[in-house]
Amino acid sequence: MASSPASAAASAATARRAAAPGRPAAAEPRARDADRSQKDILDAALAEFADAGLGGARMDRIAERAGVNKRLIYYYFDSKQGLFLAVLERAYEGIRGEEQQLNLSQEEPIEAIRRLIAFTWNYYIAHPEFLTLLNSENLHRARHLKQSPNVRRLNSPLVAMLADVLERGHKAGLFRTGVDPVQLYISIAGLSYFYLGNCHTLSTIFDRDLLGTKAKVERLSHMTELVLGYLVRD
């Protein structure tokens, strides 16, 4: 089975450190403990980066959260920047993996779009740390993602899947022509992202509880009608 981008990044950092002249070699962790240690570090780093952002995150706190020696983090990930990139890649791997499980290619086109909108909305609600990571990386102008050899590969299946849905919808006479799958996905994600990322200020200025159960149901319905109103031919 192919290794995940985060595991690959950790392995690459380990190899660089082992090959670096004049640097003391860390004791090679036992193989059966290595994957668990990396997972614990990545889980702890996700929590720390979500709480404090990249700038405010501290490796000491990540080590404490993970229950490991700080030197082990550097052994696997080389630096805080390398660790942040591994966390980002793992976050993208998580959402893209769940999107693939939707099996939209097996759904009727309109239902496939409905499912993608609902999935995106519910995933963002269940994983606020994902939005926080994106906010942090955007503040750094995607400096870390630009160094990733994996992120485009992770996102390509999503674009292909959505393009297939659009093509099937067009051939069935349901969808308008000329819809860019990337632009459509950005619109679907943006409708959820802006609402959830700004819900506290929006709730205050409009004097509404935008995270109440009724409000969230209304929002999902509104987003679905908005997207399908654009896509579906009269």
Q: Are residues 58 and 174 in the same domain?
A: no
pLDDT of 196 strictly over 90: yes
- What CATH number corresponds to the domain at position 163? 1.10.357.10
pLDDT of 19 strictly over 50: no
Q: Kindly state the tokens that stand for 30.
A: 């036992």
**For residue 132, is it within any domain?**
yes
pLDDT digits (tens, 9 = 90+) for 31-76: 558 889 999 999 999 999 999 999 999 999 999 999 999 999 999 9
User: Kind and range of the H or E element at 114?
Assistant: helix 109-126
Backbone φ/ψ region at 22: left (φ over 0), alpha (ψ -120 to 50), beta: left
- Residue 16, helix vs strand vs coil: helix
**For residue 186, is it within any domain?**
yes
Cα separation of 216 and 45, whole Å?
30
Domain span holding position 47: 5-85
User: Kind and range of the H or E element at 11?
Assistant: helix 5-19
As for how many domains the chain has, the answer is: 2
- What CATH number corresponds to the domain at position 22? 1.10.10.60
Average pLDDT over the chain, rounded to an integer = 90
Better-predicted residue by pLDDT, 27 or 227: 227
User: Kind and range of the H or E element at 196?
Assistant: helix 181-197
Classify the C-alpha dihedral 6-9-14-15 as positive or negative: positive
Neighbours of 146 (CB within 10 A): 11
pLDDT at 33: 83
Q: Are residues 150 and 202 in the same domain?
A: yes
**For residue 92, is it within any domain?**
no
Q: Are residues 27 and 58 in the same domain?
A: yes
Least confident segment among 3-17, 36-50, 99-113, 204-218:
3-17
Q: Are residues 122 and 204 in the same domain?
A: yes
**For residue 96, is it within any domain?**
no
- Residues 204-228: what's their mean pLDDT? 98
pLDDT of 20 strictly over 70: no
What DSSP character marks residue 224? H
**For residue 184, is it within any domain?**
yes
Cα separation of 57 and 175, whole Å?
46
